[in-house]
Structure 1
Amino acid sequence: MRAKQRRAFLTRAAAMAGACWLHAPAQAATAGRKKVLRTAFATAEVGFDLPQVSDQTSVVVASNIFEPLLSYDYLARPAVLIPLTAAGLPEVSADFKHFVFTLRPGIFFADDGAFKGRKRELVAEDYVYSIKRYYDPRIKTEHLYQFETAKVLGLSELRNEALKSKQPFNYDKPAAGLRALDRYRFEVRLAEPDPRFPHLFANANYSAAVAREVIEAYGDDISAHPVGTGPFRLKSWRRSSQIVLERNPNFREQVFESLGAAAGHTQAEEVGRYLTGKKLPLLDEVHISIITESQPRWLAFAGGDLDLVEMPTAVARLAVPNGRLAPNLKKQGVQVFQSHGSDITFSYFNLEDAQVGGYSPERVALRRAIVLAYDNAEETRLVYQGQALPAQSMLPSLIYGHEADLRSEAGQPDLARAQALLDLYGYDKRDAEGYRLHPDGSALRLRRAGGETARERQIQELWKKRMDAVGLRMEFETATFGELIKKALAGQLMIWGYVWDLGSPDGDFLLGMGYGPNAGQSNDARFQLAAFDRLYERQRLLPDGPERLALMHQATRLMLAYLPYHPHNYPIRIDMSSARVRGFLRHPFTRDRWRYLDMDEK
């Protein structure tokens, strides 16, 4: 039976009896002798030019094609920085303002027509050029703030010159803070200390190397032509349907090494024993399907059409009843991996919006009332089937700055307090349908954006129910994730929520989502508060320790007081694989895990 017909059959069968969801993956034959991993994502990709994307699918795929200088040890916990394309960790000055990176010689890009038939070695100038791309006004990126906040000397001036003159960005003009020293070394100079700056070079989203020839050859179509030094290259792409990666023939020899797993981390210890001494990557191809709805995605795994999938929460009670793998799945060798602590599910309020924005007491009270009226615990129970932990702030447990004993209004729903707040601050007037009005008598309409999935429909039903309970009218708009990202960056959404998968173990990124100058980039809420900005700037300059933690905690409390963001939960991710998948470990801060995976055909 062909795959499409088989999936249709499974879908019909599931409609008649949900129990069939628990059929274990079949041991599908592999084409030829190739090792092919088949996996799926719930959201469609936007493209593969890392400065221009932030959605999970695009970033994960591109992170297996492109490489930053550094990475994190696959097994070690807590996270440990290691060299990737670099020959070692960077040289860092005592004042944390000067950094020198040295590349490992003999690393080559995947072959591409832009190189005109020659092998193209990775050199220091490629990283210099790649970083400059974030400053190019023609490139629409939400990641520029990562470098502007770090205050790399001279680059903002180059950007401003291009903006003022309306001429193309001058990539050839020297900048005091970024230059190649020779073929394999480059330096970065900052205006202010940044003790955690090297972590920026462990995230492909901010610092992966591209070749200038490729960018210039493909122009505006560069998102469809990713050419990197990573273990895989793009073989084929059917937009919003399937992405196929194949082993990069030019990939260097990389033998797996690790500092070792933390004591007692059984899964990591097993992975270490399996991978030690093996040459990476182990797979020949990775086939990524885009399956937006939970049920078809699970059925594709249960029917043997996928080897690895993040378990949809909708099937949690069937697949892992009472937190244990269902007996028939266990019998067939299905593997289950649980992780949490580096992700955050949240909503944001656009503080420039005429309905919910502003800093006056009545507008802050409105946002507080919305947060108090909504029930995160009910969302976790009904929508996520218990596969999440309650969030009290925007900083999850594995992130530096997290406060384990913090309790906030986000984690304590109270309809009575929400009603009282609204009445107290002038939202006591009602329209003909019984919905509350603004204190000045004008219509009050909340509008929440979301995707077009069954889970999103559940979330919308819960929002509607909880807002109706306090007399707030809420409406909804739906679009694809890519369309919503564009609207968010343009400040066109009132309320939106999603999951952020962190790429660094530090809380600076999440606090930076409230930093005023980041508005229109990571600061979707467009929060602008001088007191918060000063706290954020001060903590950035300090090394880790009690003084910095105290400032981070003060900043967290200001965010909770003004509520530009509404933290919901910290997701528990459950990955499932067939018995053939080996080497899987979800590192909390890396995206290139496919280089470590293998398919055991025995």
Structure 2
Amino acid sequence: MTAARSLTVRCLAACLFVLSLPTAAADMRKTLHVVLQNGETVLDPAQASDTNTLSLIENIFDAPLRYDYLARPLALRPNLTTAMPTISADGKTYTLTLQHGIRFTPDPAFGGKSRELVATDLIYSMQRHYDPALKSPWLFLLDGKLAGDSELKQGTFDPMRPIAGLTALDSHTLRIVLDRPDNNFLYLLAMPALSVVAHETIAAHAPFPVGTGPYMLREWQRNSRLLLDANPDFRRTVFDDNTTGNPAIARALHDKSLPLIGHIDVRVLEEQQARVLAFLNHDIDYLEPVPAPLAGMVLEQGKLKPELSRQGITLALTPMMSLDYLWMNMEDPVLGGIGLPQIALRRAIGYSYDRAEDIRVLSKGLAIPAQSPLPPNVVGYDAALRSDAETNPALARALLDHFGYRDRDGDGWREQPDGSPLTLTMHTLASTTGRLRDELWRRSLSAIGIRVVFNSGKFTDLLKAARLGQVQMLEAEWIADFPDGENFYQLLYGPNAGSANRARFRLPAFDRLYEQAQQLPDSPARNLLYRDMNHLLQGYAPWVLRTHPVSADVQHPWLRNYQRHPVMLTTWRYLDLER
């Protein structure tokens, strides 16, 4: 059905290969200018969960595996390893052989020198996710999967406590043992969250992140600007990709050492208009995506404006493996719980939401309505599935009336069944986009007699409040960490409450289905479980499903080798400039 269905995880003979030798291939006369939509949080793979920060992390740090840049269907390949991991016949034991000579960038924690990456660094980096002080949002990737990991939760936390699931067989060989087979485990080894850090720099609270990636951080104006330099000690990485994903880019990159560009100038521009103007004024080299509410500045009837085409600017419309949704805090005294009145209130909120207006007015047509959490091209997506959460204000009002949410004092606003005031609080971004979305929700909820107030703030502040359970309801976007339905449904899995499961949704019936689905490969049987999980999601309504975005990406004519990747957040190491 999709390219992702036939995803291969073996490294093809003609794929990107790496040799552990330093390179000075990057042209230090060139600077790539890019923009982030929101400020970075903390440049730590175990703590960052927003795409803006992870975009930086995947360039400063390294995960054991990476996606091939051009391969379609998607393919994984070695990154820190000499080859793809070997997997035992029972699917539970993975053996990784690391390349020799990969080095962390110099840091005072290493006596001002660099240090070679070894197998125990991977053990430390994985096990520190279990540190209760970190509250890692990525703990779900490993928790309950690594053999013996329950020992990490006993007594005082020790990130190097020996467990059966992680063993350094020698300085460059790591054995990973799982309690049960995991069909998606190789994907996890390519995620920025499982990038490798050095225990010395973490213990020393190094002011700048220290990794082994293609770039290193040189200057850091928090939530404003970051300057990255090509890592002079980055292992020699020669591109030799003969896949048919994009032959022109493959030819342009053939036999070239990566990265190509010496400097990355990263600016944080939270206002949408500022990002578009930065592109039109040639201050940045590409923009992904063009903010949908401002698409008229760049697009005309779904195509690039002629005057921009004449400048050599090009447009690519890319369906995204992502979901836009509203989550509601299931621990909130007004919205939360699984009592029938609370379920009715949440479902009424969903019925009030006008998806058609959202797509037509705010998204400018650059989205499709979400029928389930799974976007097209994700393994497990069911094109025949239709959500029952359609826009239906009349049904919303009837539900509220039936369960006691009535206007008792005649002021036009409903009260709770016990007669107490009913006012919802939605946290939103303090930006033009946030204000436009506020107005859509205000109209939607007012139409069914519910008063809502908006608590606007910066993205980083909203994220922190959400982690602490201090948010009643919040719009969010989830971009696939790997192209499988499990990555979306884990957002509702009970044990992930408080981390990836921001809604704090806990339903034993859902959790059982999720755990059963984890045991199955992509199959009709697993798809039936996904369908049942979607029915429970719609029935208990901890979310309002919104849309799956279509990204309008534009680039200037001097940018070379650019192609949006379905999973990787950035492609900076492959890009080049001709100016």
Superposition deviation, residue 273 in structure 1: 2.4
Matched, 1:210 2:197: yes
1:378 and 2:373 aligned:
no
Does structure 2 retain, via aligned residues, the 8 Å contact 1:415–1:470? yes
Out of 215, 219, 236, which is 1:236 matched to? Answer: 219
Partners of 1:477 and 1:160 in 2: CA distance? 39
Q: Is the 8 A contact 2:28 2:261 kept in 1?
A: no
Instruction: Name the residue aligned to 2:498.
Output: 520
- Residues 1:147 and 2:142 aligned together: yes
CA contact (8 A) 2:102 2:116 kept: yes
Tell me the alpha carbon deviations over residues 168-188 of structure 1, each in whole angstroms, 9 at most, x when there is no partner: x22332111111111111111
Counterpart amino acid of residue 511 in structure 1: Y
- SS of structure 2 residue aligned to 1:36: strand
Deviations 1:513-548 (A, max 9, x none): 111111111111111111111000111112222222
Higher fraction of helix: 1
Larger strand fraction of residues: 2
Between the aligned partners of 2:297 and 2:183, the Cα distance in structure 1 is 46
| 8 Å contact kept, 1:111–1:250 | no
Which residue is 1:86 aligned to? Answer: 81
Query: Are 1:194 and 2:182 an aligned pair?
Result: yes
Distance change (3 Å), C-alpha of 1:508 and 1:422: same
Q: What are the within-5 Å matches in structure 2 for residues 333-352 of structure 1?
A: 333-352=312-331
- TM-score, normalised relative to structure 2: 0.93
In structure 2, the residue corresponding to 1:161 is in which secondary structure?
coil
Given candidates 132, 137, 140, the residue that maps to 2:132 is: 137
For the pair 1:98 / 2:93, whether they are aligned, the reply is yes
* 1:355-434 aligned within 5 A: 355-410=334-389, 412-434=390-412
CA shift digits 1:49-82 (9 cap, x unpaired): 1111111211101111101011111112222111
Q: Specify the code of the residue in structure 2 equivalent to 1:143.
A: W
Separation of aligned partners in 1, 2:28 and 2:138: 41
CA distance in 2 between partners of 1:449 and 1:504 (Å) = 28
Query: In structure 2, what is the equivalent of residue 577 of structure 1?
Result: 555
Mapped partners of 1:258, 1:161: distance in 2? 49
Per-residue deviation at 1:444?
1.3
Look up the equivalent residue of 1:325 and give its one-letter code: L
Q: Where do residues 258-297 of structure 1 align in structure 2 (5 Å cutoff)? A: 258=241, 260-262=243-245, 268-297=246-275
* Structure 1 residue 33: Cα displacement: 6.4
* Structure 1: runs of 5+ lacking an equivalent: 1-31, 163-168, 263-267
Q: Spell out the pairing of 1:488-499 with structure 2 (5 A cutoff).
A: 488-499=466-477
Alignment check: 8 A CA contact 1:37 1:308 kept? no
Letter in structure 1 aligned against 2:203: E
RMSD, aligned CA = 1.5
Q: CA deviation at 1:409?
A: 3.1
What amino acid does structure 1 have at the position aligned with 2:378? I
User: Can you list the C-alpha shifts for 1:455-483, whole angstroms capped at 9, x where unaligned?
Assistant: 11000001001111110111111111111
| Cross-structure match for 2:483 | 505
Distance 2:485 2:249 in 1: 28
CA deviations over 1:570-598 (Å, ceiling 9, x no partner): 11112212111111111111124111111
Is the partner of 1:104 in helix, strand or coil?
coil
CA distance in 1, matches of 2:476, 2:507: 23
Post-superposition offset of 1:259: 5.2
Q: Distance in 2 between matches of 1:290 and 1:592?
A: 15
Query: Residue 110 of structure 1: SS of its match in structure 2?
Result: strand
1:325-369 deviation line (CA, Å, top 9, x unaligned):
111111111122221130111110111111111111221111111
Is the Cα contact below 8 Å between 2:28 and 2:262 reproduced in 1? no
* 430-439 vs 536-545, greater mean Cα deviation: 430-439
AA matched with 1:273: R
Decide which moves more: 325-334 or 422-431.
422-431
**CA distance in 2: counterparts of 1:110 and 1:542, whole angstroms:** 41
**Aligned residue runs from structure 1 range 303-318, under 5 A:** 303-310=281-288, 311-318=290-297
Structure 2 residues without counterparts, runs of 5 or longer: 1-26
Out of 72, 76, 85, which is 1:77 matched to? Answer: 72
Q: Residue 553 in 1 paired to residue 531 in 2?
A: yes
The answer to whether the 8 A contact 2:123-2:160 is kept is no
Q: Which residue of 2 aligns with 1:529?
A: 507
Give the secondary-structure state (helix, strand or coil) at the position aligned to 1:64.
helix
Aligned position for 2:12: none
Q: Counterpart amino acid of 1:398?
A: N
> Is the Cα–Cα contact under 8 Å of residues 245 and 286 in structure 1 kept in the other structure?
yes
